[in-house]
Structure 1
Amino acid sequence: MTPDPVPPCPVPDAHRRLMDCHAQWHLLHESYYDPDVFRLNLNSLVPNLRNVTWLLQKRKAVIPDFETWYPQFQQSAASSEIMKWVVKSRNRITKESDLELLSSSRVVWIRDWLQRAEGTASFEPRKTTPEILLTLYRNGVPPVGTATLKRRWVDKALPDWELLAATSEAYARLSQLVWTAHRAFGIERCDLPDRSTECVTSALADSLVRLPCMHLAQSELQTHISMSGGVYEEEAKRFDFDPEKMEEAAVRYGELAYPVSGPVENVPGFMAMARTMMERDGSHGTFAFLYSGQQQVAVRALQFGDQQSKILIFEGIADLVESTRADGVVIIGESWTALQTEKEKELKTVFFPARDRLDRMECLTVYALTRDGRHAELVSMVERGENGETRCAEPMDVSFEAGMNTMVPIKLRWADMQKRGI
């Protein structure tokens, strides 16, 4: 059967310019450590972002219902700090002067889940890790925990936004706008050819999700340092569902009912799946599922080397929450639990984490949290038989405690996103 022909692009000028912006964004990223080239690329990208809307408006006479949906975009853009910045910056670049760029590093020091501090500092690009550590020690940062260095270019007129993040946010909004124009013609995909750069394609997004390549590129600009020396590597691997692997899983585990509701509502279904897999394999990995409403927008398989790397991985999940606009998170995995001692109950504290206690118990946990504060958690105790068999007890609906610490970076990110209007 011959596949249906792909329709021609209904707004080719605006769509091509959007693809130009994608390519220029990567040039901006590649020149991050060269101030003059960075400024040159930024001066080219910002006007082109603005030009996408103008090129779309030039075809308004032939675009169905343009006068209905385009004013909705204008209203949204008028309330967006980023889109207002794009308009003002284009005028400054073309009529007045360069943007007032400021370069710094944001330093995030993390001792544990609840103790952290942020500040800004300036480091030479060629400065070694020991030299950076020495500077941090001299500035009073304790030699415990981790420090994350995030390289930052900001415009004085937009101090709360790093410029790669700001321009990728603007790109996401414009991609959704061009997608809306395609939908007005009754199509979602057109024949506009892709570019030679693999990620620069004519694909469009129907939501404000940043492109995976942009998310990855921004993560490359930060370094995680152990305050006792050494560099941490994140281990949060993208997990895509493979139809063949799903068939293999059906043979191994039987027909698993995959949950398809919102994150909080999915907790019982995920627990049922986790218990089946745990009893079959004797172990269970840790996974993060991110949602926008009821739509699953990302899945990550998580591997922890130690407690500090676990904290950093969940900091990375918080970055992904912003890139995907996720408003709900589900975490599944094995964990340790222990009962509080009478002294701990009296003092309302915990002296020793469950992982370090001799009386620790193994369990499966599934917990969920949404941006509006809804949450759920189920725990299933794991029992090991003499012959190596594994049994998972009936799940218990418990207070939201096991997942509270790991959700701290995500809750902080949602608060920061609220502050920046996203």
Structure 2
Amino acid sequence: MLHDSYLDPDGFRLNLNALVPNLRNVTWLLQKQKAVIPDFATWYPEFQEACKKSEIMGWVVKSRNRITKESDLELLSSCQVIWTRNWLQRVEGTATFPPRMSTSEIVHALRHSKTPPVGLITVRRKWVDKALPSWELLAATAEAYSWIGQILWRAHKAFGVDRCDLADRSVECVTSALRSTLTRLPCMDLAQSELQAHFTMSGGVVKEEVEAFDPDPAKLEAAGERYGELKFPTSGPIENVPGFMAMARTMMEKDGHHATIAFLYNGERGVATRGLQFDDQNAKMLAFERLADLVESTRADGIVIISESWLAAPTERERQLKTIFFPARDRLDRAEGLTVYAATRDGRQVELLSMIERGPNGEASCGEPVEVTLPAGANTFTPIRRKWDDMEKRGI
């Protein structure tokens, strides 16, 4: 698939060179069958006239001729590089690299530049054809796909049917149903965050681990049997913190651990729930950056995080310098806590903390929750607040 090879220059070029002629071949096949398609001479010329006015369909026709008769499309690639040193230090820049330069080669070049050797590198590529400079190529081919889908719908309608005889495809949103309008399939509406890769400064790949929660009735019934009656809070994010803490304590004492879970809100309406997984600080920063992207796409204006956390008081030297040398997870004197914290776009924030004591067999006991005046979750909200500020500037 074109999307799957986006970060691989050779693979992307190969898939694009296969896709564009195939898009054009659909119209050729229709024309070859015109004798058996009802009223073809009436409605097909109307489609041709509409295509002549379409920048995208004009590009498909010309590109097919270039690929089959001349050479590859002349692709250009821009590259946005984001360096995240820590929660508070994040630098963005745009660089131009040779189109055939692989993402790993780009990262290698960045690592040997003036970039400090710590933190996380995010590389976002953008492919365009020199003959269509105003369109990103995934968006352009998705638009072309919608045109082809529309003409296939019209051809089927001529026979009095509205579905294709072919079975549904492996991609969930590509079905045998046909569309009468120029509408892109949902799986082709991609966020920029899906066209990027993440690396440590040592060159290791960091994977995004953000999982959607499926409200499966069977799973909910099983949870009720295990934890008893859990009262899910139904107000706004700030007001829901005590209720979520009560749920989290019940689950923590039953299971001995608690996953990191994010609840996104628009007003008092929940719009998304995600589970976050991370093995180190880089993966954690990446998970919350990805969560910030979801905040924008869902237009969320509030968020609640439930998390099991390591806690430690700063040393006297750290207090003097107002910096942290050793994160709590690396400290010998660390303590364990269960936190529920919330923030809203209008600036409100609250956190409850329940300290965890472990029994001889590792069983967990949660203390009474206390409100934290300096929320431990403040850093993890930094990408969210940055996203809200950016949305405000853009009037979203």
Q: CA deviation at 1:262?
A: 1.3
Q: What secondary structure sits across from 2:325 in the alignment?
A: coil
Match of 1:388 among 362, 378, 388: 362
TM-score between the two structures when normalised by the length of structure 1? 0.64
Alpha-carbon displacement from aligned partner over 1:148-194 (angstroms, at most 9, x marks no partner): 11112589xxx9x97879999xxxxxxxxxxxxxxxxxxxxxxx879
Equivalent position to 2:81, from 107, 113, 127: 107
The partner residue of 2:111 within 133, 137, 160 is 137
Q: Match for 1:274 among 231, 235, 248? A: 248
Establish whether residue 411 from structure 1 lines up as the match of residue 373 from structure 2. no
Q: Which residue is equivalent to 2:204?
A: 230
2:305 maps to which residue? Answer: 331
**Structure of greater Rg:** 2
Does the aligned pair in 1 maintain the 2:260–2:305 contact within 8 Å?
A: yes
Give the letter aligned to residue 239 of structure 2: E
Shift in Å at residue 389 of structure 1? 2.7
Which consecutive residues of structure 1, in runs of 5 or more, have no partner in the other structure? 1-25, 45-89, 169-191, 203-209
Q: Specify whether residues 212 and 295 from structure 1 end up closer, same or farther in structure 2 by C-alpha distance, changes over 3 A only.
A: farther
Q: Are the counterparts in 1 of residues 288 and 383 from structure 2 also a CA contact under 8 Å?
A: yes
**1:231-266: per-residue Cα shift (whole Å, max 9, x none)?**
111111111111111111111111000111111111
The residue type paired with residue 316 of structure 1 is R
| Deviation of the 1:318 alpha carbon | 1.2
Counterpart CA distance in 2 for 1:122 and 1:271 is: 48
> Structure 1 residues 131, 388: CA separation in 2 closer, same or farther (over 3 Å shift)?
closer
SS in 2 for 1:199: coil
One-letter amino acid matched to 2:322: K
Q: State how far apart, in whole Å, the 1-side matches of 2:367 and 2:241 are.
A: 16
User: Runs of 5+ in structure 2 lacking a partner?
Assistant: 24-51, 63-74, 143-161, 178-183
Name 1:17's counterpart in structure 2.
none
Q: In 2 relative to 1, CA 138–280 (structure 1 residues): closer, same or farther, beyond 3 Å? A: closer
Structure-2 residue corresponding to 1:246: 220
Offset from partner CA, 1:21-48 (integer Å, 9 cap, x none): xxxxx9899889559969x99xx9xxxx
1:272, 1:111 → 2: CA distance? Answer: 35
**CA deviation map 1:346-376 (0-9, x unaligned):** 3333232111111110000111111111111
Shift of the 261–35 alpha-carbon distance from structure 1 to 2, 3 Å rule, reads farther
**Residue 261 of structure 1: which of 217, 235, 242 is its match?**
235
Partner in structure 1 of residue 94 of structure 2: 120
2:343 aligned partner: 369
CA contact (8 A) 2:357 2:364 kept: yes
Which residue in the other structure is 2:273 paired with? 299
CA distance in 1 between counterparts of 2:324 and 2:188 reads 40
Aligned counterpart in structure 2 of residue 286 of structure 1, from 260, 265, 283: 260
How much does 1:325 deviate? Answer: 1.5
Contact 1:235 1:313 in 2 (8 A): yes
Give deviations 1:288-309, integer Å, cap 9, x for gaps.
1111222211111111111111
Structure 1 residues 349 and 301: alpha-carbon distance in aligned structure 2, compared to 1, 3 A threshold = same
Aligned residues: 318
CA shift at 1:399, angstroms?
A: 2.2
**What is the alpha-carbon distance in structure 1 between the residues aligned to residue 137 and residue 349 of structure 2?**
34
What is the one-letter code of the residue matched to 1:333?
S
Q: 1:149 aligns with which of 104, 114, 123?
A: 123
Q: Which has the higher contact order (CA 8 A, sep 6+)?
A: 1
SS at match of 1:232: coil
- Could you say which residue in structure 2 is the equivalent of 1:353? 327
Offset, 1:388: 3.1
- Give SS of 1:407's match: helix
